[in-house]
Protein backbone atom coordinates (compact mmCIF):
# COMPACT_ATOMS: atom_id res chain seq x y z
CA UNK A 1 0.00 0.00 0.00
CA UNK A 2 2.88 2.35 0.80
CA UNK A 3 4.48 1.89 -2.62
CA UNK A 4 1.13 2.65 -4.25
CA UNK A 5 0.82 5.88 -2.27
CA UNK A 6 4.38 6.88 -3.18
CA UNK A 7 3.65 6.32 -6.87
CA UNK A 8 0.44 8.35 -6.61
CA UNK A 9 2.11 11.26 -4.82
CA UNK A 10 4.94 11.31 -7.35
CA UNK A 11 2.37 11.50 -10.17
CA UNK A 12 0.20 14.14 -8.51
CA UNK A 13 3.15 16.30 -7.49
CA UNK A 14 4.45 16.21 -11.06
CA UNK A 15 1.26 17.80 -12.34
CA UNK A 16 2.11 21.23 -11.00
CA UNK A 17 0.23 24.29 -12.19
CA UNK A 18 2.64 27.18 -12.84
CA UNK A 19 2.79 28.95 -9.49
CA UNK A 20 2.60 32.63 -8.72
CA UNK A 21 5.33 31.88 -6.17
CA UNK A 22 7.64 30.59 -8.87
CA UNK A 23 7.64 33.95 -10.56
CA UNK A 24 10.48 36.35 -9.83
CA UNK A 25 8.62 38.73 -7.54
CA UNK A 26 10.52 41.73 -6.21
CA UNK A 27 10.79 42.61 -2.55
CA UNK A 28 8.45 45.55 -2.15
CA UNK A 29 8.20 45.73 1.63
CA UNK A 30 11.01 45.57 4.18
CA UNK A 31 8.65 46.23 7.09
CA UNK A 32 6.35 43.19 6.77
CA UNK A 33 3.44 42.72 9.17
CA UNK A 34 1.98 39.27 9.79
CA UNK A 35 -1.48 38.70 11.20
CA UNK A 36 -1.74 35.82 13.71
CA UNK A 37 -5.21 34.40 14.27
CA UNK A 38 -6.34 34.38 17.90
CA UNK A 39 -8.41 31.56 19.33
CA UNK A 40 -10.94 31.44 22.11
CA UNK A 41 -9.88 30.53 25.61
CA UNK A 42 -11.26 27.61 27.57
CA UNK A 43 -11.04 26.20 31.08
CA UNK A 44 -8.62 28.02 33.40
CA UNK A 45 -7.40 30.26 30.58
CA UNK A 46 -10.77 32.05 30.62
CA UNK A 47 -9.70 33.95 33.74
CA UNK A 48 -7.33 35.97 31.54
CA UNK A 49 -9.63 36.90 28.64
CA UNK A 50 -11.89 35.51 25.94
CA UNK A 51 -9.14 34.86 23.36
CA UNK A 52 -5.38 34.45 23.20
CA UNK A 53 -2.22 34.01 21.15
CA UNK A 54 0.77 32.08 22.49
CA UNK A 55 3.87 34.25 22.54
CA UNK A 56 6.01 31.63 20.76
CA UNK A 57 4.28 32.48 17.47
CA UNK A 58 5.11 36.14 17.97
CA UNK A 59 8.75 35.37 18.78
CA UNK A 60 8.89 33.05 15.77
CA UNK A 61 7.80 35.80 13.38
CA UNK A 62 9.99 38.39 15.06
CA UNK A 63 12.92 36.05 14.38
CA UNK A 64 12.14 36.28 10.67
CA UNK A 65 12.05 40.08 10.76
CA UNK A 66 8.29 40.70 10.84
CA UNK A 67 6.03 42.70 13.08
CA UNK A 68 2.90 41.00 14.38
CA UNK A 69 -0.72 42.03 14.78
CA UNK A 70 -3.46 39.84 16.23
CA UNK A 71 -6.42 38.82 14.12
CA UNK A 72 -9.18 38.98 16.67
CA UNK A 73 -12.16 36.64 16.67
CA UNK A 74 -15.86 37.55 16.69
CA UNK A 75 -15.34 40.80 14.80
CA UNK A 76 -17.25 42.34 11.90
CA UNK A 77 -16.60 41.66 8.23
CA UNK A 78 -15.49 45.29 7.91
CA UNK A 79 -12.82 44.66 10.57
CA UNK A 80 -11.38 41.67 8.70
CA UNK A 81 -11.44 43.38 5.31
CA UNK A 82 -9.75 46.50 6.69
CA UNK A 83 -7.12 44.49 8.54
CA UNK A 84 -6.40 42.35 5.50
CA UNK A 85 -5.52 45.44 3.47
CA UNK A 86 -2.98 46.40 6.15
CA UNK A 87 -1.06 43.14 6.64
CA UNK A 88 1.29 41.13 4.44
CA UNK A 89 0.57 37.54 5.45
CA UNK A 90 -1.47 35.36 7.80
CA UNK A 91 -0.44 32.65 10.24
CA UNK A 92 -2.98 30.14 11.54
CA UNK A 93 -1.52 28.84 14.83
CA UNK A 94 -1.99 25.58 16.70
CA UNK A 95 -4.51 24.82 19.40
CA UNK A 96 -7.37 22.48 20.20
CA UNK A 97 -10.55 23.77 18.58
CA UNK A 98 -13.31 22.76 16.20
CA UNK A 99 -12.46 23.18 12.53
CA UNK A 100 -16.07 24.04 11.78
CA UNK A 101 -17.84 25.79 14.66
CA UNK A 102 -15.13 27.63 16.60
CA UNK A 103 -14.68 31.38 16.36
CA UNK A 104 -11.12 30.61 15.22
CA UNK A 105 -12.55 28.67 12.27
CA UNK A 106 -15.06 31.38 11.35
CA UNK A 107 -12.54 34.21 11.42
CA UNK A 108 -9.89 32.05 9.76
CA UNK A 109 -12.15 31.19 6.83
CA UNK A 110 -12.79 34.87 6.19
CA UNK A 111 -9.07 35.62 6.12
CA UNK A 112 -8.30 32.58 3.96
CA UNK A 113 -10.99 33.53 1.44
CA UNK A 114 -9.62 37.08 1.29
CA UNK A 115 -6.11 35.72 0.76
CA UNK A 116 -7.16 33.36 -2.03
CA UNK A 117 -9.14 36.06 -3.81
CA UNK A 118 -6.15 38.40 -3.58
CA UNK A 119 -3.78 35.77 -4.98
CA UNK A 120 -6.15 34.99 -7.84
CA UNK A 121 -6.16 38.70 -8.66
CA UNK A 122 -2.34 38.84 -8.72
CA UNK A 123 -1.97 40.33 -5.23
CA UNK A 124 0.63 37.97 -3.74
CA UNK A 125 -0.42 37.13 -0.18
CA UNK A 126 1.18 34.22 1.78
CA UNK A 127 -0.61 31.98 4.28
CA UNK A 128 0.97 29.65 6.87
CA UNK A 129 -0.69 27.01 9.05
CA UNK A 130 0.92 25.28 12.06
CA UNK A 131 -0.51 22.09 13.64
CA UNK A 132 -4.21 22.99 14.05
CA UNK A 133 -3.54 25.60 11.36
CA UNK A 134 -2.26 22.84 9.05
CA UNK A 135 -5.40 20.81 9.75
CA UNK A 136 -7.55 23.89 9.22
CA UNK A 137 -5.99 24.49 5.79
CA UNK A 138 -6.79 20.91 4.79
CA UNK A 139 -10.38 21.40 5.94
CA UNK A 140 -10.77 24.68 4.03
CA UNK A 141 -9.46 23.17 0.79
CA UNK A 142 -11.16 19.76 1.04
CA UNK A 143 -14.35 21.33 2.44
CA UNK A 144 -14.60 18.44 4.90
CA UNK A 145 -12.83 17.14 7.98
CA UNK A 146 -10.51 14.33 6.84
CA UNK A 147 -8.49 13.93 10.04
CA UNK A 148 -7.85 10.61 11.75
CA UNK A 149 -6.38 9.95 15.20
CA UNK A 150 -2.61 9.98 15.67
CA UNK A 151 -0.40 9.23 18.65
CA UNK A 152 2.00 12.12 18.22
CA UNK A 153 1.66 14.32 21.29
CA UNK A 154 4.91 15.67 22.76
CA UNK A 155 6.95 13.88 20.08
CA UNK A 156 10.00 15.52 18.43
CA UNK A 157 10.91 13.89 15.11
CA UNK A 158 13.11 14.30 12.02
CA UNK A 159 11.26 14.81 8.74
CA UNK A 160 10.80 12.09 6.14
CA UNK A 161 11.25 14.36 3.12
CA UNK A 162 9.71 13.01 -0.09
CA UNK A 163 11.90 12.90 -3.21
CA UNK A 164 11.71 14.61 -5.66
CA UNK A 165 8.84 16.73 -4.30
CA UNK A 166 10.79 18.51 -1.58
CA UNK A 167 13.70 19.35 -3.89
CA UNK A 168 11.31 21.06 -6.31
CA UNK A 169 9.46 22.94 -3.57
CA UNK A 170 9.67 26.56 -2.53
CA UNK A 171 10.08 25.83 1.16
CA UNK A 172 12.80 23.16 0.99
CA UNK A 173 14.19 23.36 -2.53
CA UNK A 174 16.54 26.27 -1.86
CA UNK A 175 17.27 25.55 1.80
CA UNK A 176 20.93 25.24 2.74
CA UNK A 177 22.23 21.69 2.76
CA UNK A 178 22.92 21.81 6.49
CA UNK A 179 19.30 22.77 7.21
CA UNK A 180 18.05 19.83 5.16
CA UNK A 181 20.51 17.51 6.87
CA UNK A 182 19.34 18.64 10.31
CA UNK A 183 15.68 18.22 9.34
CA UNK A 184 16.28 14.71 8.04
CA UNK A 185 18.56 13.43 10.79
CA UNK A 186 17.66 15.16 14.07
CA UNK A 187 14.54 15.35 16.24
CA UNK A 188 13.97 19.04 15.57
CA UNK A 189 10.32 19.11 14.45
CA UNK A 190 8.14 19.21 17.55
CA UNK A 191 4.84 17.35 17.18
CA UNK A 192 1.99 17.76 19.64
CA UNK A 193 -1.19 16.51 17.98
CA UNK A 194 -3.82 13.81 18.46
CA UNK A 195 -5.14 14.03 14.90
CA UNK A 196 -3.52 14.08 11.51
CA UNK A 197 -3.94 13.68 7.78
CA UNK A 198 -2.85 10.31 6.40
CA UNK A 199 -1.24 10.04 2.94
CA UNK A 200 -4.01 7.69 1.80
CA UNK A 201 -6.76 10.14 2.75
CA UNK A 202 -4.84 12.97 1.09
CA UNK A 203 -4.40 10.97 -2.11
CA UNK A 204 -8.07 10.06 -2.27
CA UNK A 205 -9.30 13.66 -2.00
CA UNK A 206 -9.02 15.36 -5.39
CA UNK A 207 -9.39 18.87 -4.00
CA UNK A 208 -6.42 18.43 -1.68
CA UNK A 209 -4.33 16.70 -4.34
CA UNK A 210 -5.06 19.49 -6.83
CA UNK A 211 -4.24 22.28 -4.38
CA UNK A 212 -1.27 20.96 -2.38
CA UNK A 213 1.99 19.12 -2.88
CA UNK A 214 2.96 16.72 -0.09
CA UNK A 215 6.59 17.38 0.83
CA UNK A 216 7.14 15.31 3.96
CA UNK A 217 5.57 12.66 6.15
CA UNK A 218 6.23 11.19 9.59
CA UNK A 219 5.30 8.19 11.69
CA UNK A 220 3.63 8.47 15.08
CA UNK A 221 4.43 6.25 18.08
CA UNK A 222 2.24 3.49 16.66
CA UNK A 223 3.82 3.58 13.20
CA UNK A 224 0.93 5.40 11.53
CA UNK A 225 2.12 7.68 8.73
CA UNK A 226 0.85 11.27 8.70
CA UNK A 227 1.51 14.17 6.32
CA UNK A 228 3.79 16.75 7.93
CA UNK A 229 4.48 19.43 5.26
CA UNK A 230 2.27 20.70 2.43
CA UNK A 231 2.79 23.49 -0.08
CA UNK A 232 0.33 25.13 -2.43
CA UNK A 233 0.92 24.28 -6.08
CA UNK A 234 -0.45 27.50 -7.47
CA UNK A 235 -0.69 29.77 -4.44
CA UNK A 236 1.71 30.74 -1.60
CA UNK A 237 0.17 28.54 1.09
CA UNK A 238 2.17 26.33 3.45
CA UNK A 239 1.16 24.00 6.25
CA UNK A 240 3.27 22.10 8.78
CA UNK A 241 1.81 19.57 11.21
CA UNK A 242 4.74 20.20 13.58
CA UNK A 243 5.59 23.30 15.63
CA UNK A 244 8.68 25.13 14.33
CA UNK A 245 8.14 27.84 16.96
CA UNK A 246 8.49 25.54 19.96
CA UNK A 247 12.21 25.98 20.36
CA UNK A 248 11.05 29.17 22.11
CA UNK A 249 8.80 27.23 24.52
CA UNK A 250 10.47 26.35 27.83
CA UNK A 251 7.56 24.52 29.46
CA UNK A 252 9.25 21.64 31.34
CA UNK A 253 6.29 19.34 30.70
CA UNK A 254 7.29 19.03 27.03
CA UNK A 255 10.23 17.44 25.27
CA UNK A 256 10.90 20.42 23.01
CA UNK A 257 14.37 20.60 21.56
CA UNK A 258 16.51 23.69 22.26
CA UNK A 259 19.78 22.79 20.55
CA UNK A 260 21.52 25.27 18.29
CA UNK A 261 20.44 23.15 15.32
CA UNK A 262 16.81 23.24 16.44
CA UNK A 263 16.99 27.03 16.69
CA UNK A 264 18.61 27.18 13.25
CA UNK A 265 15.65 25.26 11.81
CA UNK A 266 13.19 27.55 13.61
CA UNK A 267 14.92 30.60 12.19
CA UNK A 268 14.94 29.07 8.72
CA UNK A 269 11.17 28.54 8.68
CA UNK A 270 10.53 32.00 10.12
CA UNK A 271 12.78 33.70 7.58
CA UNK A 272 11.25 31.71 4.72
CA UNK A 273 7.68 32.79 5.51
CA UNK A 274 8.50 36.38 6.39
CA UNK A 275 10.53 36.75 3.17
CA UNK A 276 7.38 35.75 1.27
CA UNK A 277 5.45 38.43 3.14
CA UNK A 278 8.00 41.00 1.94
CA UNK A 279 6.57 40.51 -1.55
CA UNK A 280 3.23 41.96 -0.47
CA UNK A 281 2.71 45.73 -0.47
CA UNK A 282 -0.31 46.09 1.86
CA UNK A 283 0.18 48.73 4.54
CA UNK A 284 -1.60 50.54 7.33
CA UNK A 285 -2.99 53.95 6.36
CA UNK A 286 -0.71 55.74 8.84
CA UNK A 287 1.83 55.13 11.60
CA UNK A 288 -0.66 55.69 14.42
CA UNK A 289 -3.02 52.97 13.20
CA UNK A 290 -0.09 50.60 12.72
CA UNK A 291 1.30 51.16 16.20
CA UNK A 292 -2.07 50.71 17.88
CA UNK A 293 -2.64 47.41 16.04
CA UNK A 294 0.66 45.78 17.03
CA UNK A 295 0.62 42.84 19.44
CA UNK A 296 2.73 44.78 21.93
CA UNK A 297 -0.24 47.02 22.72
CA UNK A 298 -2.12 44.07 24.24
CA UNK A 299 -1.76 42.41 27.64
CA UNK A 300 0.80 39.64 28.04
CA UNK A 301 0.85 37.19 30.94
CA UNK A 302 3.55 34.81 32.10
CA UNK A 303 1.88 31.67 33.43
CA UNK A 304 3.48 29.91 36.38
CA UNK A 305 0.99 27.59 38.05
CA UNK A 306 -1.17 26.94 34.98
CA UNK A 307 1.55 26.35 32.36
CA UNK A 308 5.07 26.81 33.74
CA UNK A 309 7.26 29.10 31.65
CA UNK A 310 4.42 29.73 29.20
CA UNK A 311 3.33 33.21 28.14
CA UNK A 312 0.25 34.40 26.29
CA UNK A 313 -1.16 37.54 24.76
CA UNK A 314 -4.81 37.93 25.74
CA UNK A 315 -7.69 39.95 24.37
CA UNK A 316 -10.72 41.36 26.14
CA UNK A 317 -8.62 40.93 29.25
CA UNK A 318 -10.46 40.17 32.50
CA UNK A 319 -7.45 40.02 34.81
CA UNK A 320 -5.51 43.05 35.94
Residues of the chain with pLDDT under 50: 1-5, 7-8, 11-12, 14-19, 22
Q: Which residues are catalytic?
A: 131, 243
Q: What is the pLDDT of residue 303?
A: 87
In this predicted structure, what is the pLDDT of residue 88? 98
Q: What is the pLDDT of residue 15?
A: 43
What does DSSP say about strands 299-303 and 310-315: parallel, antiparallel, or unpaired?
A: antiparallel
* pLDDT per residue as tens digits for the range 110-129: 999 999 999 999 999 999 99
186-245 pLDDT per residue, tens: 999 999 999 999 999 999 999 999 999 999 999 999 999 999 999 999 999 999 999 999
pLDDT for residue 4: 47
Distance CA 131, CA 115 (A): 20
Q: Which of 141, 119, 92, 104 is nearest to 273 (CA)?
A: 92
Cβ-based neighbours of 136, under 8 Å, separated by 6 or more: 92, 99, 104, 105, 108, 129
Which pLDDT does position 42 carry in this prediction? 86
β-strand partners of 67: 33
Please tell me the predicted confidence (pLDDT) of residue 255.
Answer: 86
Contact 248, 60 (CB under 8 A): yes
Q: Check residue 253 and give its pLDDT.
A: 82
**Domains defined along the chain, listed by start:** 2-315 (3.40.50.880)
CA distances from 65 to 27, 44, 75, 202, 312 (A): 14, 33, 28, 33, 20
From first CA to last CA, the distance across the chain in angstroms is: 56
CA-closest candidate to residue 91, choices 308, 290, 269: 269
DSSP 23: S
Q: Which residues pair with 216 in a beta bridge?
A: 161, 229
Phi/psi at 33 (5° precision): -125, 125
Amino acid sequence: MQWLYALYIATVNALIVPSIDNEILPVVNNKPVIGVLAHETAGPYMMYGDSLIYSEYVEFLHTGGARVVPIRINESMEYYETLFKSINGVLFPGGSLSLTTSSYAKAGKIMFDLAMQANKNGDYFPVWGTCLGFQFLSFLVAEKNLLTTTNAANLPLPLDLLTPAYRDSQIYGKAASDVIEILQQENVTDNDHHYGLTPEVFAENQKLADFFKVLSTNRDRDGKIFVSTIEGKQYPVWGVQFHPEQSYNWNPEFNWIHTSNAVKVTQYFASFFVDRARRNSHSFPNQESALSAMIESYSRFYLQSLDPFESIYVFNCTKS
